[in-house]
Amino acid sequence: MPANTLAGKDCLTLFDYTTAEIRYLLDLAKQIKQKHQQKEIYQPLKGKVLGMIFEKASTRTRVSFEAGIYQLGGTGLFLSSKDLQLGRGEPISDTAQVLSGYLDGIMIRTFHQKEVEELAEYASIPVINGLTDDYHPCQVLADLLTIEEVKGKLSGLTLTYIGDGNNMAHSLMVGAVKMGMHFKTAAPAGYLPKPAIVEQAEKIAEANGVTITITTDPNEAVSGADVVYTDVWASMGQESEQKERLLKFSSYQVNEALMTGAAEDYLFLHCLPAHRGEEVTSEIIDGNHSVIFQEAENRLHAQKALMVALMSNEDSFVF
Q: How many domains, in total, are found in the chain?
A: 2
Residue list for the binding site for L-ornithine: 167, 231, 235-236
Under a CB-based contact definition with an 8 Å cutoff, are residues 86 and 116 in contact?
A: no
- 281 and 210 belong to one structural domain: yes
Which CATH number does the domain housing residue 184 bear?
A: 3.40.50.1370
Q: Is residue 5 part of a domain?
A: no
- 68 and 98 belong to one structural domain: yes
What span, in angstroms and rounded, lies between the C-alpha atoms of 124 and 150? 38
What span, in angstroms and rounded, lies between the C-alpha atoms of 188 and 251? 9
Residues of the chain with pLDDT under 70: 87-88, 236-238, 313-319
- 169 and 122 belong to one structural domain: no
- 285 and 303 belong to one structural domain: no
| Cβ neighbour number for residue 242 with a 10 Å cutoff | 13
The reported pLDDT for the residue numbered 90 is 85
Q: Is residue 318 part of a domain?
A: no
Q: Is residue 194 part of a domain?
A: yes
Contacts of 304 (CB under 8 A, 6+ apart): 29, 32, 36, 68, 71, 72
pTM of the model: 0.96
The reported pLDDT for the residue numbered 2 is 78
Under a CB-based contact definition with an 8 Å cutoff, are residues 142 and 293 in contact?
A: no
Q: Mind telling me the catalytic residues?
A: 109, 136, 139, 231, 271, 299
Residue list for the binding site: 58-61, 85, 109, 136-139, 167, 231, 235-236, 271-272, 299
- 45 and 187 belong to one structural domain: no
- 55 and 107 belong to one structural domain: yes
Residue list for the binding site for carbamoyl phosphate: 58-61, 85, 109, 136-139, 271-272, 299
- 247 and 274 belong to one structural domain: yes
Q: Is residue 7 part of a domain?
A: no
Instruction: State the residue range of the domain holding 197.
Output: 138-296
- 103 and 182 belong to one structural domain: no
The reported pLDDT for the residue numbered 87 is 57
The reported pLDDT for the residue numbered 314 is 59
The reported pLDDT for the residue numbered 1 is 72
Q: Is residue 4 part of a domain?
A: no
Q: Is residue 273 part of a domain?
A: yes
Q: Is residue 8 part of a domain?
A: no
- 110 and 168 belong to one structural domain: no
Q: Is residue 3 part of a domain?
A: no
- 287 and 304 belong to one structural domain: no
- 167 and 218 belong to one structural domain: yes
The reported pLDDT for the residue numbered 82 is 78
- 49 and 149 belong to one structural domain: no
pLDDT tens digits, 42-86: 999 999 999 999 998 899 999 999 999 999 999 999 998 777 777
